Amino acid sequence: MTIKELFNQTKLMKPLEKAKLVDLILADLDKPDAEVESAWLKEIQRRKINLKSGRTKAVSYQAAMGKYK
């Protein structure tokens, strides 16, 4: 079955069925990348250490976003 044939099959589906199919497809595409996850964990640990040691200071959301107004 081609993608176009598959798409044409969806035209026979009810809207709720289409939405469920889209959810399933998106969930299948949204699988975590182990390398990216590992890099983020290292970054989180680095930031946590820097905050606790005082090397980095936290700022409020308003202060951070105020720079871009």
pLDDT digits 0-9 by tens, 37-65: 999 999 999 999 999 999 999 999 999 99
The pLDDT of residue 32 is above 90: no
CA dihedral 44, 45, 50, 52 (to 10 degrees): 110
Q: Which of 44, 48, 45 is nearest to 58 (CA)?
A: 48
What pLDDT is stored for residue 14 in this prediction?
97
| Percent of the chain's residues with pLDDT above 90 | 88
Q: Token pair for residue 47?
A: 């930031």
Q: How many angstroms separate the CA atoms of 42 and 65, rounded? A: 25
**Residue 24 is which amino acid?**
L
Computed over every residue of the chain, the mean pLDDT equals 94
When pLDDT is cut at 50, 70 and 90, the band that residue 31 belongs to is confident
Q: How many angstroms separate the CA atoms of 38 and 19, rounded? A: 32
